[in-house]
Structure 1
Amino acid sequence: MEKVSEQEITETRRVLRCSRMKQICEDLQNLRYSKLEISIQAKLLENARKLKNFTCLAELTSNEHLKPVKVRPEKIDLVNATVKTDCVFQISENNIYGGDFQSNGKLLLADNNQMKLILCNIDGIFAVLQEKKLSGSPFGVCCIGKNEVLVTLPDEKKVLRLDLDSLEIKDTVSLQCKCYGIATSGNITVIGTRDSVVMFSGGLEERECKTISSYLSGTDDVALDDEGNVIYSSYSHNKVRKQDKGGNLLFSYTHEKLKDPYGLAVGRNGEIFVGGFSSNNIHILSGSGKLLRILEEIEKPKWIKFQIDTNRLFVMESGSSNLKVYQFTGP
């Protein structure tokens, strides 16, 4: 029998420990946590650096080679979930119609009256981190990737591309139409023009655009689901519609308790949140347009956004400074 050296035994144990740590990290990803933050710190010994040379550990990382771990949030049954007011943030003298979450969880809002962007911390204590004055009145906000955001200026018929970290303007795209709500998915960008909904393929700059809908007016708000289907609402006709990229109608939703729909949001499984401005409620639809439930006593919602990572619904009320946050929890 060949004798195994003490050094080989030590190295084998290191390999097994690292493999076990990798398995633990994978198991953590599958836990049913809605919020989970884990910090593992250790001094990286010189011998541990040698582990990177093992081909069997090619996927393992150290603090010198970071690989983000995304925790899968708990799946919520929106029909039976408990909904409670989590907190209320005060944003004075605002007229906000658009906003989006950054990849780091911060919230970027567009103040139409004050002609500025507001970057906010919404984890725990609310705080305004940064403000950016603009040359026009912003409406729609859509974060793309980790480093950029698109902001619409309806009166100027322009879309701004800004750096997310500095909020400095990187590019300005002029269009032939007024641009209100905006949504992107892959190389597809959809814009609500109030009189129609238009889709751009291959980027705004390339001008490859087609009209998805010109039948309804009052089409400010738009959204895209994971399959690239276009969702839009019409406050003039009290209607919500979904169409595929080819323009084919997938469903049209109306309800006696939906008046002046403002604001659209899409959930983790394709659920659609619709704000009823004059009906003081929020309708939650399935991806196929079936009504799941109605949240009542929501005071004139004009902008809504569902944060998938925390199962929270953010609602900006009209006529007040309140940004209300509703927490969904499983039964």
Structure 2
Amino acid sequence: MKKTLTRWAADIWYKDHFLGVWLSLFGFLFSDAVKFRRFLYRLGVLKSYTLPVPVIVVGNITVGGTGKTPLVIWLARFLKDSGFNPGIISRGYGGQAQSWPQPVTADSDANQVGDEALLIATQTGCPMAVGPLRVEAAKMLLSQADCNVILSDDGLQHYALNRTIEIAVIDGERRFGNGHCLPAGPLREPIERLQRVDFVIVNGEKYEDHEFSMQLVGQTLVNVVTGEQKPLPEFNAVECHALAGIGNPERFFKQLEVAGLICATHSFPDHYSFQRHDIDFGDNKPVLMTEKDAVKCTEFAGLQHWYLPVKAVPDTVFSEQLLNLLKRKV
């Protein structure tokens, strides 16, 4: 049911603009509610908390994946290389822990802390905490680790936490869909919200002069069970299955297609909780997935299961401007 609703919504937001127009009244109501909530924070009716260290929020204004997680991983490594001690917070979406906040390490359970959080902690080695209340997650982090800057994975709309720098990530292919707010379109906030962020990063080719481009690069498949690595082109001569439970599965499928692979594709909702039968297609064909999906399949994957790690490669001008801005605000 969730898979069907997700596809139906995506069709309205990115393809059937006519039906989106009919729903636009609800989008205007949602937009007004969002603006009023932000206004209450500016008045101080709703309280915001300021941490004793700078906070960099990486988020988006649309529903679904835009490439935030690879960018957060890149940012954490970049900040460490620049002499900072970053800590990372996130909501822990999909996690089913009984209490929050929760610390996250490479040994954490994705079912408890969320797939993206586990991937980030594993890839960066940075101290990390997750919880619906990001202020509490940040406080836990600062009490347990020597962090002098906090990275917030998502949370652009989480105004209870004041931020030093805001980075918005855009899907370069789908952009803003029909341009309407939820439920008529994919927007969490009106497009003009981007005028107030410090940086706009486009996952793909940029459209506007003020935007910075970012590419997701990955050419080596890794076996989920053994860790064996093979170049992507080695799979060109065989038929494969490709599955993805991410915000925009078509991006992953297209990446495989461009590399010359022939795949039967299987889409799942973002943050889908995979079971053994979801990744078993009754044959011995290779099954390719994203790294985010792989962290949830390690316990029941077989030798035919492979994942494709990707890394973010943002515009070098962005890294220079970010570092200069952060140093001015520290």
Higher relative contact order (CA 8 A, sep 6+): 2
Q: Which protein is richer in helix relative to its size?
A: 2
Q: TM-score, normalised by structure 2?
A: 0.23
Q: With the length of structure 1 as denominator, give the TM-score of the two structures.
A: 0.23
**Structure with greater proportional strand content:** 1
